[in-house]
Every structure is written in C-alpha cells, then in structure tokens.
Structure 1
C-alpha cells in the first residue's frame, strides 16, 4: 500500500512538469489582430506572399506563419513583418533580409526623403522564441511593445 501511495504522490508531483514543457506561442493571427487593434498601423496595407519575396527575397512556404504589411504608397516607408519560423536558425536569415531591405530603402530615399530615412534608421526588431517582429513606422516602438504583450498572452 505504501508503494502505491508513493507512486501516486510521484505522479501528482510530476504531472505539472509535463504541462510546462510545451512551447506554446499565440497564433500569428491573434498577434496580428492585437497590432491592428492598437490603431498604430496607419500607412500600411496587408500584403501577400509575393510582397515577402519582392521586398525581402524570402519564400512564404519556408516559414510556419507570415504576416506582411507594406507601405500604402510609394512615398511611405511604413511596413511591418511578423514571421513565425519553423526553426530558430532561420531567424538569422530573416534578419539579413531585413538589413538588406532597409539598406535598399535608405539608398532609394537618400537625398530627397529625410523623414523616411529617419524612420528607416530607427526601425524596431524583436525576436521572441521563433517569432520575429520588424517594423518601420512613426509608431514602431509602440507596435513593438504591443507585439511583446501579445506574445505573452
């Protein structure tokens, strides 16, 4: 009887540990909804996988989930990218693609777009787990904070 009681006690004590071992992150659609609800995504429009390829040189099928927001007009640089990678190693590749995109945008706007260049130079990037957030916007810092809060939920 003591062995049975001890076995039950061990199982009860170990059970909570199994629930903690799973890495659960919110669905990208939920994070995206929180960012949109913040009201700070003006100047951006939802784009598709073709925009991911055109702007960043990345294929949408290489990632678990992707949300791309591009500038609403050609004189704007506001954009946002949220990618949930299949593998943490992909994050370095994404960061290189972002750096390349920012460099091209800076080159395009240098000389006649000082406001755009200032936004590009102050872009925000944040990685939580295997999810990367990147944003160029006058509200980029606020959007990054919204992203961080949403990822905790």
Structure 2
C-alpha cells in the first residue's frame, strides 16, 4: 500500500501551528479585571497591617504623584502618617491600559524622591523602599512599600 502525501499537507500543518501560536499569544496578554477597586483594596488591606498609614484623599494623590485621580477609574492611597515613615499603599484602577506608563513613571518618581529623603538616616525605611513592589496587572496597578509587600502583592493578584 503506497500512500502519497498531498502537497497540501505541509500547508495544513503550518496553519495548525500558526493557529496554536496565535492562541498562546492571546492568552499571554494582560487581561482587564472586572473586579471593583473596593474589593481589591479590601483584600489587600486584610492581608497586611496598615498601622502607620492613613487613608488619603485625591489631593494627597496629586501631591505625591502629580496625577489627577479623576483621570482614572479609581484610586486608593494609604499614605504614611508621618514624614518619618515610608510605608505606602497605592492601588489604581485604570480607565484604559494605555494609562499604565504614565502612572508607573509617576510612581517611580515618587519612589526616587522617598529614597533620597531616607538615604543615610532612615535605614529601615530605606530598605523598605528598596524592597517595594510595583505590579501592573491589566487595568490595575499596585505600588506598596511595606514590610509585608509580597503578601499584599499576592492578595492583589488573587483579588483580580
């Protein structure tokens, strides 16, 4: 029995491989979460102690990051109670994923300002800043400076 391979067989195989690669590519992209900012915030806050931080308003967000909270779907900011504390929690729900770069630049600018403030005398605070977490997941951004930042990040990811 002599079977001939059709000249279309390699084309069919190539099409299946391309389709599979396309499906994998689609799965790798950042997905937008339907979770509410309140739900995400509550889960993150339950995972850590927020002692030393106070919930702040949009004015403080503007002061720290130079951004307007009204440009985003929602913003949660827990700021340090005093200037001697570096602990901070920021969660931003973006209206559009294209806003992520602007927010991350503002966060990195804030981080550098804080590092220069604590460098040399606030060793524990500086170490916390060095071990910060900045996590962008689709339409949510988490920035946290906290001794349990990893725990907060895990709660953040699980809440999305």
Superposition TM-score tier, normalisation by shorter sequence: 0.7 to 0.9
TM-score (norm 1): 0.80
Cross-structure match for 2:102? 93
- Radius of gyration: which is bigger? 2
1:36, distance to aligned residue in structure 2 (A): 2.0
Query: Is 1:106 the counterpart of 2:105 in the alignment?
Result: no
Query: Is 1:120 the counterpart of 2:129 in the alignment?
Result: yes
Alpha carbons of structure 1 residues 24 and 117: separation in structure 2 relative to 1, 3 Å: closer
- Gaps of at least 5 residues in structure 2 are 1-30
Q: Is the 8 A contact 2:33 2:138 kept in 1?
A: no
How many residue pairs get matched? Answer: 130
Query: Cα deviations across residues 26-46 of structure 1 (Å, max 9, x unaligned)?
Result: 100011111222243222211
Alpha carbons of structure 1 residues 85 and 73: separation in structure 2 relative to 1, 3 Å: same
Query: Cα deviations across residues 87-115 of structure 1 (Å, max 9, x unaligned)?
Result: 11110011100110011011111111111
1:62 is aligned, of 54, 59, 71, to 71
TM-score (norm 2): 0.77
What RMSD over aligned residues (CA atoms) do the two structures have, in Å?
1.5
- Gaps of at least 5 residues in structure 1 are 1-21
Q: Is the 8 A contact 2:45 2:152 kept in 1?
A: no
Q: Is the 8 A contact 1:43 1:71 kept in 2?
A: yes
Q: How does 1:2-151 map to 2 (within 5 A)?
A: 24-151=33-160
Alpha carbons of structure 1 residues 122 and 23: separation in structure 2 relative to 1, 3 Å: closer
